[in-house]
Structure 1
Amino acid sequence: MKENVSDFLVRRLSEWRVKRIFGYPGDGINGIMGALNRAPDRIDFVQVRHEEMAAFMACAHAKFTGEVGVCLATSGPGAIHLLNGLYDAKLDHQPVVAIVGQQKRAALGGNFQQEVDLISLFKDVAHEYVHMVSTPEQMRHILDRAMRIAQVERNVCCIIVPNDIQEMDAEKPAREHGTIHSGIGYKEPRVIPRPEDLQRAADALNAGSKVAMLVGAGALQATPEVLEAADLLGAGIAKALLGKAVVPDDLPFVTGSIGLLGTRPSYDMMMQCDTLLMIGSSFPYSEFLPEEGQARGVQIDIDGRMMSIRYPMEVNLVGDSAETLRLLIPLLKRKNDRAWRKKIEDEITQWWKTMEARAMAPASPINPQRVFWELSPRLPDGCILTCDSGSSANWYARDLKVRQGMMASLSGGLATMGPAVPYAIAAKFAHPRRTVIAMAGDGAMQMNGLNELITVGKYWRRWSNPHLLVMVLNNRDLNQVTWEQRAMEGDPKFEASQDVPDFPYAAYAEMIGLRGIRVDRPEEIGSAWGCALGADRPVVLEAYTDPDVPPLPPHITFKQAKAYASAILHGDADSPGIIKSSVKQIFA
């Protein structure tokens, strides 16, 4: 039987070493689904509950494997649903290819059912490459180019396949004028700066006496080099959220996260340094970086477009982080005066004591920080952590000590709600032997997580290690935004907007065949984590937490304090609780 276009698509994806596609069926992709059904040994199709989740999973697959993530959706509404997850991949610079169906070519332009101008729709999120297959001969080069460009540009590409094309016989392009004959395969090049620029960077770094380093996701494959550079320079290392797993948190000179969700040592280091070395990060908040002119700057990034847009750098080194550091390190002189490093280490030691005191401060009924603090020493070696946007990200950033060999990620550039559980599922498919732990608030769980627990229930028996844990902070509040309203706008809590229905997350998990653990007493948190980590199936750990515990920024400005006071004075319904909790946290 002759191969049709859909069969060719599946075979070609397999030749590109795609092992898994995340998606949801629909009549706009019936031909492709049939081809996947005929080739189960080539590609594993993972059925999600919603197309947005397929895009999140494709993004997470790219993050946790370095491979191209692939998602599949039907025409019209299915394609539209992909967009948020694809923007997550775009803003975090992940290689993802979206394959979407379309109505028959003859119907296009006729206001047909589910007809959407998909090329225009995807033109921004997949701006590097979005094309529709108009003839069977096009499929080869459109797929090849999408796969290659996604990797070259570390971005989203989109292929649109009308459903009549899907069923046509596959055709090899004719050898004639106006045809394209493409091939497969891509290897990342070795990108390194010029020797003279490396020397300029070394001169700047050697001249500094108070060097601060900031690392992001672009440094995830450069851990040994980052640590060696920090040792030579006597520097402290701050981490952007996407760079949490670059270096372990148990090292005495790692200051932890930076920004509103960051630590006091990271803030103080940036405010006092005379030299900044930024590696693989596009951290956006300039108020948490040195004041312009305060420090000399050196930046390393693979993408020249990201140079000097956060801080005016003296030297910009375009190159792979690990390769560039290997060339830079021999040019660095070890700093004999370690007073700056000693100061940083002393502040970090005190900070961890502060964090423990804050986590152990009483709350009603549970302090959310304590849930993360109790998990931290129990994290299994080599585990993978995913987190949602919201107040859970505060405690993930500050209270968890990531060790060497762990992986961790969340939605960085987009900071969207909802990816923690789909990220965890993708991580588990990619690394079935590793323990995966997702951390989410109740808002994100009600938005996306509950549905994707059904996906966990569908597939978990396929994983060689069943340990997938989903921790939910049940505080009945869209907590991050509630605190932002108070601290940024000076407005009291808007209950109609912020109150979230109380939902039995642990009981729901039990209902669908998973393990559910609910904890509402602080002294039971440790044993709850122990039970969850030892369970024979995936677990939902529901922590009934206090929404009034404030996610204190590393530095409280007068403007923030004034806004907070305004919210209380204007009749915030939770004023007694938030005042009491704030006093406990500040005292700690």
Structure 2
Amino acid sequence: MLVADFVLDRLRRWGVHRIYGYPGDGINALLGALDRADGDPELIQPRHEEMGAFMASAHAKFTGELGCAMATSGGGAIHLLNGLYDAKLDHQPVVAIVGQQKRIGLGSAFQQEIDPNTLYKDVSSDFVQTCMHPAQARHLVDRACKVALTNRTVATIIIPEDVAEADAIPSPPREHGAVFSGVGWSRPRVLPDPGELQRAADILNAGGKVAMLVGQGAQAAGDEVMEVADVLCAGVAKTSLGRVEPADHLPYVTGPIGLLGSTASDHMMKNCDTLLLVGTAFPYAEWLPEEGQARGVEINLDGRMIGVRYPMEANVVGDARETLRALLPLLGRKTDRSWREELEREVDEWHRVLDDRAHDDADPLNPERVVQEASQRLPDGAIVTTDAGSVANWWARHLKLRRGMQASLAGNLATMGPGTPYAIAARFAFPDRPIIAFVGDGVFQMNGMLELITVKRYRERFEGAPLVFCVFNNQDLNQVTWEQRAMAGDPKYPGSQWIPDVPYADYAEMLGLRGIRCDSPDDIGKAWDEALSSHGPCVLEVIVDPEIPPVPPHLMAEQAKKAVKAVAKGDPETLGIAEKGAQQKVHEFTESIKSHLPGGGR
């Protein structure tokens, strides 16, 4: 047994059965060991190391298990970084295995010699070590896995070629300096401080208008979140990483928050007198209550993040589920339901606004209609991914997710690229579940099209359930275009924003996959039915209007002034964005008037 064989066997004992990686001579010994491993762990070969790291991050997100990515020395190690940063910033346990030149050549400026210890010092700040001796391999793998799981972060092991090729030493010599590590880890119960918990309960009991914001850390506490919301007559907004729990059909769930948010969430935050954050580090403080408006309670497993978004009177460090369970007996059930009823009217109004917007005329197809139609057809147990770009707005607002579904994106890194590899990793982890990726044409050109070749390679394993890549073709890097207008006060700059038209459905067909193209609002429902009836990979290309603005719940004064300034400078789409942006706000005004009429205006 070589060190390379031993490392893979040790990873297997830690529950790693799939490694996403790309070959190179810096990891030749590990590739040979993977061949001898008979598929456990198996190597999944993406088209690029960055995509492999995204897949490892997605595996951790959707399964709760360790993700694992592998790359060769030099350029391969560099390519991993963006996907690993996605795991680090979204707090996912991923182990990275990186090759290195032979020890004898280190320091000589040898070909492909870089310093991965320094390079990975930030992305893998909690653990990055080089295996300099075969007897180290055992405790390095064990500690990397323990650190990744405990700190929910990236841990990296760098293995020089000659060490990987050396004979394994499964048990170190019994001498001073040797350590004898073991496989094994268990998730702790992190319980809150009783005094701080009582302080939190007192604040929440005194509040008359409680607003809850839940994130990724609360997704395993859906029942508890719903029960607390019921007792407090609170509304619940959700971050993009906390998309699923509680489910969107509940009348008090106000939906997304922030630039991608809903008018219902915005109304709740503007008018609440008490704010309860659970399992989130939502960064945009301008979308929370004004300082001094609301009393604050926060529950977070990570004490480093307590009270850094809003001044909190109760800072409760603990696991979301355990803490909410301990909090519930201390809460008094509120009998005045006027606040809850007010929020439910806002939620109902918001859903009507979304439906109105989705049915607005567009040239040729309204992107909101695309996601609205998909939402009505989401199969049970679906896993839904998306990417950075304007498509994330429609994904956040229009999809109504039910219990048993999963959804994610690059939340804190907000990078282009993960939507497609996330979907591929989800399919490997859950062969029988429907998988849908919503991606823009810009990011699909960046890397998604190449990863369809990965789908082609493993196609026989992807049959049996829908795997749909919905590509929004508008020939525009649309989110940045709108940011240029609203944040910089500049018109759309075609030199940076225009991208070539590519026949994505035809490209899928060329690879032997299924391709569907739709450019008509009358046909989009049928197109979704066709795509979701596929028993394997399918690209649904939708030709959408780039002039449909991802208007936030309310326009900040500075953003409005800059948008007007951009139009005044001669934006090439001035007429379209003025007409369509105004129409969106008309829907909000109209539905608001209706909701205040007897019978809700219906």
1:81: which partner in 2?
A: 79
Q: Which amino acid aligns with 1:548?
A: E
Q: How does 1:70-469 map to 2 (within 5 A)?
A: 70-171=68-169, 172-463=171-462, 465-469=464-468
Decide whether the 8 Å contact of 1:56 with 1:85 is kept in 2.
yes
How far does residue 464 in structure 1 lie from its aligned partner after superposition? Answer: 5.7
* Alpha-carbon separation, structure 2, partners of 1:262 and 1:54: 31
1:534 maps to which residue?
533
The letter of the residue matching 1:124 is: D
**What one-letter code is carried by the residue in structure 2 that aligns with 1:498?**
Q
Query: 2:246, 2:359 → 1: CA distance?
Result: 26
Which residue does the alignment assign to 2:590? none
**Matched letter for residue 483 of structure 2:** E
Answer yes or no: is the 8 Å Cα contact 2:55–2:424 preserved in 1.
yes
Conserved in 1, the CA contact under 8 Å of 2:463 and 2:536?
A: no
Q: Give the Å deviation of 1:442.
A: 0.4
Q: Runs of 5+ in structure 2 lacking a partner?
A: 588-602
Does the aligned pair in 1 maintain the 2:519–2:542 contact within 8 Å?
A: yes
**Any idea what the Cα deviations from partners look like across 1:406-426, whole Å, max 9, x if unmatched?**
000000000000100000011
Name the SS of the counterpart of 1:245 in structure 2. Answer: coil
In structure 2, what is the Cα distance between the partners aligned to 1:220 and 1:458?
Answer: 34
CA–CA distance in structure 2, aligned partners of residues 351 and 422 of structure 1: 32
Amino acid at match of 2:238: K
Q: Look up the SS of the partner of 2:110 in the other structure.
A: coil
Of 47, 68, 71 in structure 2, the residue corresponding to residue 49 of structure 1 is 47
The aligned residue for residue 598 of structure 2 is none
What is the TM-score normalised by the length of structure 2? 0.97
- In 1, Cα distance between equivalents of 2:148 and 2:125: 11
Show structure 1 runs of 4+ deviating over 3 A: none
Aligned to 2:593: none
Which amino acid in 1 is paired with 2:404? G
Which residue identity does 1:378 align to in structure 2?
R
Q: What SS class does the counterpart of residue 134 from structure 1 fall into?
A: coil
Deviation per CA, 1:316-352: give whole Å up to 9, x if none: 1111111111111111111000000000000110111
**Quick check: 1:435–1:465 contact (8 Å CA) kept in 2?**
no
Q: Which residue of 1 aligns with 2:27?
A: 29
Counterpart AA for 2:38: P
295-304 vs 126-135, greater mean Cα deviation? 295-304
Give the whole-Å Cα distance in 2 for the aligned partners of 1:268 and 1:556. Answer: 13
> Does the Cα contact within 8 Å between 1:22 and 1:46 map onto a contact in 2?
yes
Q: Report the secondary structure of 1:152's partner residue.
A: helix
Q: Distance in 2 between matches of 1:587 and 1:208?
A: 34
Measured in 1, the distance between the counterparts of 2:140 and 2:302 equals 25
Partner of 2:584: 585
Aligned equivalents of 1:184, 1:443: Cα separation in 2: 43
Report matched runs for 1:52-63 at 5 Å.
Answer: 52-63=50-61
1:300 and 1:558 map into 2 onto residues whose CA distance is 32
- Taking only the aligned residue pairs, the percentage that are identical comes to 59
Cα distance in 1, alignment partners of residues 290 and 583 from structure 2: 32
Secondary structure of the residue that 2:258 maps to in structure 1? coil
The amino acid across from 2:73 in the alignment is S
> Conserved in 1, the CA contact under 8 Å of 2:515 and 2:541?
yes
Quick one: distance in 1 between partners of 2:356 and 2:272?
Answer: 28
Conservation of the 8 A alpha-carbon contact between 2:462 and 2:537: no
Q: Are the equivalent residues in 2 in contact too, given 1:468–1:539 (CA < 8 A)?
A: yes
Q: Secondary structure at the match of 2:509?
A: helix
Q: In structure 2, what residue type is equivalent to 1:153?
A: N
Shift of 1:465: 2.6
Q: Which amino acid aligns with 1:192?
A: L
Matched, 1:477 2:485: no
Once the two structures are TM-superposed, the CA of residue 41 in structure 1 deviates from its matched residue by 4.1
- Length, aligned pairs only: 586
Name the CA distance, whole Å, in 1 between partners of 2:462 and 2:198.
49
Within 1, Cα distance between the matches of 2:177 and 2:559?
63
Q: In the TM superposition, what whole-angstrom CA distance separates every residue of 1:447-490 from its partner, at most 9, and x where no partner exists? A: 11101111111113114634110001000000000000001111
Matching residue's letter, 1:37: D
Deviation (angstroms), 1:197: 1.6
Which residue of structure 1 lines up, in the alignment, with residue 487 of structure 2? 488
Q: Measure how far apart 1:574 and its partner are.
A: 1.2
In structure 1, the residue matched to 2:596 is none
State how far apart, in whole Å, the 1-side matches of 2:463 and 2:186 are: 31
Shift of 1:579: 1.7
* Partners of 1:463 and 1:581 in 2: CA distance: 40
CA distance in structure 1 between the partners assigned to 2:14 and 2:536 by the alignment: 33
SS at match of 1:62: helix
Conserved 8 A contact 1:460-1:466: no
Greater Cα offset, 115-124 or 550-559: 550-559
Q: Equivalents in 2 of 1:43, 1:457: separation in Å?
A: 21
Supply the distance in 2 between the matched residues of 1:40 and 1:84 (Cα, whole angstroms).
Answer: 30
Paired amino acid for 1:145: R
In 1, the alpha carbon distance for the partners of 2:193 and 2:116 equals 42
2:571 & 2:462 partners in 1: Cα distance?
47
Counterpart amino acid of residue 184 in structure 1: V
Q: Aligned partner of 2:23: which letter?
A: P
Following TM superposition, by how much is the alpha carbon of 1:289 offset from its aligned partner in structure 2, in angstroms? Answer: 0.5
Structure-2 change in CA distance of 1:113 and 1:360 (3 Å): same
Q: Distance in 1 between matches of 2:543 and 2:22?
A: 33
SS in 1 for 2:534: coil
Instruction: State the distance in 2 between where 1:478 and 1:403 align.
Output: 30
Partner in structure 1 of residue 17 of structure 2 = 19
* Offset of residue 580 of structure 1: 2.1
C-alpha contact 2:87 2:153 (8 A) present in aligned 1:
yes
Tell me the SS of whatever aligns to 1:523.
Answer: coil
- Identify the range of structure 1 (531-540 vs 378-387) with the bigger mean alpha-carbon deviation: 531-540
Q: What do the CA deviations read for 1:500-558 (whole angstroms, capped 9, x no partner)?
A: 11000000000001100000111100000000000132110000000001000001122
* Partner amino acid, structure 2, of 1:397: A
- Alpha-carbon distance in structure 1 between the residues aligned to 2:231 and 2:465: 42
